[in-house]
Each structure stands twice: as structure tokens, then as C-alpha cells.
Amino acid sequence: MVVVADYGKETEGRMRELFESLNEKDRRRYAGLEASKLGHGGITYISELLGCDRKTVCKGVDEILDPPELDAGRIRKKGRPQES
């Protein structure tokens, strides 16, 4: 049994607009945040609503619950040093 709140068409449209305006990392975390608020069935609902993969939403949930550590001001982790 899936228990998911119905946001309504207007709110769903706003959610899609916001999602489309975000960069990849922020999209993933936004999807994860929304899914985590809904509980059971939330991942499926949000992935279908926003048109993203369930794995992406799951990764977003994980990042919301346990954020990765980054240097201040960085968006991505530092890469490995290049070999000469």
C-alpha cells in the first residue's frame, strides 16, 4: 500500500519548475528532501513527478540524511592529483 500526500496540480507544477531550475546536485538533494517528507511511497512519487530516476532520489535522500563533507565554498570533492 502506497501512502503519499497529493500536492495538487498547481503545487506539482511549481515543484517541477523549481527542479528544472536547479543544478544536478541541488536537483538530487531537492528530490531527496521531498521524498523523505512523504515516507512510504515518496521515492516513487517524487521520481515520477520530477521525471528522475529512483536511484537519483535515493542518493538525494542519503545526502540529506548524511551530507558529504566538502571544503567550504566547493561544490564538488577534490579530484585526485594528476600524475606527471
Pull the grid cell for residue 8. Answer: 495538487
If one counts the domains in the chain, the total is: 1
pLDDT at 1: 39
pLDDT at 68: 74
Write down the pTM of the prediction. Answer: 0.75
pLDDT digits (tens, 9 = 90+) for 31-74: 999 999 998 899 999 999 999 999 999 999 999 998 877 656 66
Establish if 46 belongs to a structural domain. yes
Establish if 3 belongs to a structural domain. no
Angle CA(65)–CA(62)–CA(8) in degrees, nearest 5?
85
Establish if 78 belongs to a structural domain. no
